[in-house]
Amino acid sequence: MDNIIKLINKAEVTHELTKNELVTLLKDNDHNEEIFKAADRVREKYVYDEVHLRGLIEFSNICKRNCMYCGLRRDNKNIKRYRLEPDEIISLAKGAKSYGYQTVVLQSGEDDYYTVDKIKYIVSEIKKLDMAITLSIGEKTFEEYEEYKKSGADRYLIRIETTDKELYEKLDPQMSHENRKKCLYDLRKLGYEVGSGCLVGLPNQTMESLADDILFFKKIDADMIGVGPFIPNKDTPLGEEEGGEFFLSIKVTALIRLLLPDINIPATTAMESLYPNGRSIALTSGANVVMPNVTEGEARKLYALYPGKICVNDTPGHCRTCISLKINKINRKVSEAKGFRNKTYKKETIN
């Protein structure tokens, strides 16, 4: 039997691969379909055919960080800045609830306007709607994370972006890779569902580095992993770089499913911004979550992480209908549950 096929079978059955084996699969482009199909079988076995929808509220594009790849970076003077008031955010969550969402994701740049008390107020009010709440608001202290958890936050998403420390600190000036990892460990200690993820196609990123990313997610037993292709933004220092390749992003997604069989994996908006029907392809290659935007008005356009972002001119209602049709078209169904991870894979995780 072909060595690559043997590796795919090993991953599907044991959910274990070494770094060298992952690199071999990442570098091989002759068996992508076999990898995608194996990941889809594992997805069906462990998380079934339901697709969980998370209503995404992008409430501020103001950020104190200066990441080289991000359109929200502090030094970008070509972006119109905005922030929503706490009651506006709560109102958007009520709208999401009316569209049938059971979960909201509250995402922003690292904007210090939102004090601990403001975030606690937002979270506690949304919790009254009987919704699961994911926060994606960057690096905070253990004590801040603890306060948000007590207020009702269920999940926290903070992408490692890359486990290559040198690359991370080159692309994220004045940020500490160790602190980024500490945040993930703090969130785990506090009982959050922990979400992370990586960018695929960053300048000077290697297949070895991507393999390390996948193994890191397995090591921390992440509950949700989002993979996005790097899409260059002309208003950033990396604006002239080549950017990530769609099918490599799909392959990384599929390999994460093979090694972490029961976690939640979103089909990211960036995938479809880069490739037609990208989210549907991801959903048939291991993904089981979609995060439609429920932000309204001008803010939908202004949260400009990268160019070509889809759905910025749509309404939340239109997005809800559209994604439901896409899901039905691939013979899957929209879940009516809050979509917490159901740990059905029993093998002990790596220490």
In angstroms, rounded to a whole number, what is the distance separating the alpha carbons of residues 15 and 22?
A: 12
Of 3.40.50.800, 3.10.310.30, 3.60.15.10, 3.20.20.70, the CATH number of 11-334 is 3.20.20.70
Listed in sequence order, the residues at least 6 apart from 288 whose beta carbon sits closer than 8 Å to its beta carbon are: 43, 47, 50, 51, 52, 264, 265
Query: In this structure, are residues 278 and 245 in contact, taking their beta carbons and an 8 Å threshold?
Result: no
Here the tokens at position 272 are 């479809």
Greatest extent of the chain over all pairs of C-alpha atoms, in Å: 60
**Of 203, 253, 190, which is closest to residue 224 (Cα–Cα)?**
253
Is 161 annotated in a binding site? The answer is yes
How many CA within 13 A on the CB side of residue 330?
Answer: 22
Q: The sheet that has 55-60: what strands, in order across it?
A: 55-60, 103-108, 132-136, 155-157, 193-200, 224-229
pLDDT at 345: 80
Query: In this structure, are residues 238 and 260 in contact, taking their beta carbons and an 8 Å threshold?
Result: no
Q: Which amino acid is residue 12, in one-letter code?
A: E
Is 319 annotated in a binding site? The answer is no
pLDDT at 350: 38
Is 63 annotated in a binding site? The answer is yes
Each of the 351 residues of the chain gets a pLDDT tens digit; together they read 599 999 999 999 999 999 999 999 999 999 999 999 999 999 999 999 999 999 999 999 999 999 999 999 999 999 999 999 999 999 999 999 999 999 999 999 999 999 999 999 999 999 999 999 999 999 999 999 999 999 999 999 999 999 999 999 999 999 999 999 999 999 999 999 999 999 999 999 999 999 999 999 999 999 999 999 999 999 999 999 999 999 999 999 999 999 999 999 999 999 999 999 999 999 999 999 999 999 999 999 999 999 999 999 999 999 999 999 999 999 999 999 999 999 988 664 433
Is 335 annotated in a binding site? The answer is no
64: phi then psi, degrees, rounded to nearest 5 = -80, -10
**Domain layout of the chain by residue ranges:** 11-334
Query: In this structure, are residues 270 and 228 in contact, taking their beta carbons and an 8 Å threshold?
Result: yes
H helix and E strand count, the chain = 14, 9
Q: How far is CA 147 from the centre of its chain?
A: 23
Q: Which amino acid is residue 110, in one-letter code?
A: E
Is 70 annotated in a binding site? The answer is yes
127: phi then psi, degrees, rounded to nearest 5 = -60, -30
314: phi then psi, degrees, rounded to nearest 5 = -90, 165
pLDDT at 1: 57
